[in-house]
Amino acid sequence: MRRVIERTKPKEMIFKSLVKDYFLENPKVDKALVEIKEDKLTRSQAQNKLYFMWIDDYIRQELGYSKKETHKALVEELLGYDVTTGFNEKEITSLKETKDMKVAEFARYLEEVDRLCAGLGIKLPYPDYYWLAMGVKAP
């Protein structure tokens, strides 16, 4: 369960309601964890829907990869790797991730996916929610 709360608005009833609903929906649970963190606007549902529709219905079909392999190949090609230093100054290289991208960042990533696919001869559709996913008004 998730709920956005604001500093300047009442919160007590929200918490009571969430706790009550959680335990009603999960009668076998005796203990739950409540976590509060900053609300950062990450990629939207429309963006997820568009991205995984493109992967599932078009890109992976053309490339012959699984959904996971296709996602990783796109990330590797378009975003690359992060390099950090671990124990004993050992260099650690890991594939960048899209899961925490903000809406605008992910929109740019979707544009890059579209351009890459066009260059490979893969025509991606623009469904009715495309403009919402890209964060612009439909023409």
Q: Beta partners for 81?
A: 95
d(CA 62, CA 108): 23
Which of 3-7, 41-45, 46-50, 62-66 has the weakest average pLDDT?
41-45
Band the pLDDT of 64: cuts 50, 70, 90.
very high
Band the pLDDT of 98: cuts 50, 70, 90.
very high
Mean pLDDT on 44-72: 95
Q: What angle do CA 73, 108, 114 make, to 5 degrees?
A: 55
Q: What is the mean pLDDT of the chain?
A: 90
pTM over cut 0.85: no
pLDDT at residue 134, as a whole number: 92
